[in-house]
Structure 1
Amino acid sequence: MSKNQASKSIEMKISTVVAVSALLRETDPALLDSALKSMTGGASDYFDNEFTVIDLAGCDLTGHTIDWPALINLFKSYSLNPVAVRHAPAEMEADIAAHGLSIDVVARPRQQVEEEAAPAQAPEPAPAPIPAPAPAVAEPISPPSMPQQSAAMIVDTPVRAGQRIYARGADLIVTAVVNSGAELIADGSIHIYAPLRGRALAGASGNADARIFALSMEAELISIAGTYRTFENGLPKEFAMKPAQVRLDGDRIDVLPIHTRA
């Protein structure tokens, strides 16, 4: 097999996976089973095999062990598929991994700068752990409510580190700052009328014509239809902290200026 043939055997692209968060207040499988029965009303199709992140932030785990096989089997019995655990103590991580679950690491963003407007120069980062809020849910373990048959999802509050917003089947419009460690996902295009400092993934369902627009481009990662580009060393100075758009040209991600003056 030639080198060219071998290189085509696998291709890596950004993929977006939407998961529900199970916000636990208890870890006793019997108590959780009772809560799930009450929540679902006994309906077997209440959940639809959603990927599930188990969030332990609300649990007192001091001197406590968790029966992971029982917990995993309980979720699966309600058509929920646990894939990761969030806010787990370090001493539990080996046991969690041994049961086939990933550790969902809460983002540790740069020190947040003033959110009302883009600064002339970004301050030096000062890492500090900030607990990430879970996606908004009606009740613990319930799937997040999404707009139905909407051409666009509008978010007019700051998107904080650790938050993920997904506009399924729609464009995403954000009128406030998107902080480092936050992630925006849209099946359509993404429009940000504020600084973009986190990750933005447009065309998530494969729409190669989708674009990303930002009033102040400061992104950590951008992606169109799975093709992505990162900026570990910062954006080129002609685009950094300026109005810019992102589009896909073949297999190449292009960042282009947006001219705001005639």
Structure 2
Amino acid sequence: MAVDTAGTTRTHLDLKSAQLPVVAVVLKTTDAAAIASDLAARVADDPEFFDNDPVLLDLTAVQGEARPIDFAALVQALRGLRTQPVAVRGGSAEQMQAAHAAGLIAAPDVAPARAQPREAMREIVREVQVEVPVPAPGTVVVDKPLRSGQQVYARGADLVVMAVVSFGAEVIADGNIHVYAPLRGRAIAGARGDTSARIFSTCLEPQLVSVAGIYRTTETELPDNVRGKPAQVRLDGEKLLIEPL
């Protein structure tokens, strides 16, 4: 019987590291029913807001609460909204243990971002993530069209887009968003809670606009004086204002 000892052993899989986009849900209460109700209300006007996105539960703001979290009920509610809860972070030892019992894994805590002389923008196209140099501190510039399914996030910076943001594309910034072209997809400014952030576009016809978590979808038609025209989006207290430029 012949035995081949010179050939390379073949395997049926490869193990590689991966970086995937995850939606972070920051809890401000331990009441699972209230959280589920709030989430359902936020997506009521846009049932396609989530598309089976993986979800990370951030417990940093409630880690000192004595009231336990019903993770099983919360996971079930999130799955009913077309998301996939997979991980949890920032909780107390008891909260993390309860989350693990509900099938959630522990994700590493992330320290607050610090200003760097040169940062990087992450451009996510479905499951492909590319690091793009930022031309200047505090500002991310994109000079190519963004197609449906593409997402750009300017972490800790303003975002300037010089080309069309197509329907189904998403632009996110911790600061302001400037689109010097038609804005037809989703624009989310002040992603980390900056209520002074604004969205500017030379042709406003978005699928969704949001500032510091307060949003408006195309289910509510824009007024004639701003639809398809130069306009800005800003907050006045907790009211989202859309005004002509």
Q: Please give the TM-score of this superposition, normalised by the length of structure 2.
A: 0.51
Structure with more relative contact order (C-alpha pairs < 8 Å, separation 6 or more): 1
Distance in 1, matches of 2:201 and 2:134, equals 23
How much has 1:51 moved relative to structure 2? Answer: 5.8
Corresponding position of 2:151? 164
Q: Select the residue among 84, 87, 90 that pairs with 1:102.
A: 84
Output the amino acid matched with 1:174.
Answer: V
With over 3 angstroms needed to count, the CA separation of the structure-2 counterparts of 1:154 and 1:135, relative to structure 1, is: farther
Q: Which amino acid aligns with 1:241?
A: G
* 2:14 aligned partner: 32
How far 1:151 sits from its partner (Å)?
1.1
Amino acid at match of 1:150: P
Q: Give the paired residue count.
A: 143
Q: Which residue of 2 aligns with 1:212?
A: 199
Paired letter, 2:239:
R
Unmatched segments (≥5 aa) in structure 1: 1-28, 40-46, 54-81, 85-96, 104-131, 139-143
Secondary structure, aligned partner of 2:14? helix
- Note the 1:89-238 alignment, pairs <5 A: 102=84, 133-134=125-126, 136-137=128-129, 144=131, 147=134, 150-238=137-225
Looking at structure 1, the residues matched to 188 and 159 of structure 2 have their Cα atoms a distance apart, in angstroms, of: 10
Other-structure match for 1:6? none
- Output the CA distance in 2 between the equivalents of 1:83 and 1:255: 31
| Structure that is richer in strand per residue | 2
Q: 1:83 corresponds to which residue?
A: 54
Q: Structure 1 residues 188 and 157, CA, compared in 2 at 3 Å: closer, same or farther?
A: same
**TM-score, normalised with respect to structure 1:** 0.48
Q: 1:232–1:172: structure 2 CA closer, same or farther, 3 Å change rule?
A: same
- Structure 2 runs not aligned, ≥5 long: 1-10, 24-52, 56-78, 86-123
Aligned to 1:70: none
State the Cα RMSD in Å: 3.3
Query: Shift in Å at residue 213 of structure 1?
Result: 0.2
Measure the CA separation in 2 of the matches of 1:168 and 1:181. Answer: 20
| CA distance in structure 2 between the aligned counterparts of 1:230 and 1:160, rounded to whole angstroms | 19
Q: In structure 2, give the amino acid aligned to 1:169.
A: G
Q: Cα–Cα, structure 1 residues 158 and 249, in superposed 2: closer, same or farther, change >3 Å?
A: same
- Contact 1:190–1:200 at 8 Å: present in 2 too? yes
- Residues 164-218 of structure 1, C-alpha deviations (whole Å, 9 max, x = no match): 1100000000000000001110000000000000110000011100000000000
2: CA distance, partners of 1:134 / 1:209: 30
Aligned ranges 1:67-82 → 2 under 5 Å: none
Q: Is the 8 A contact 1:135 1:165 kept in 2?
A: no
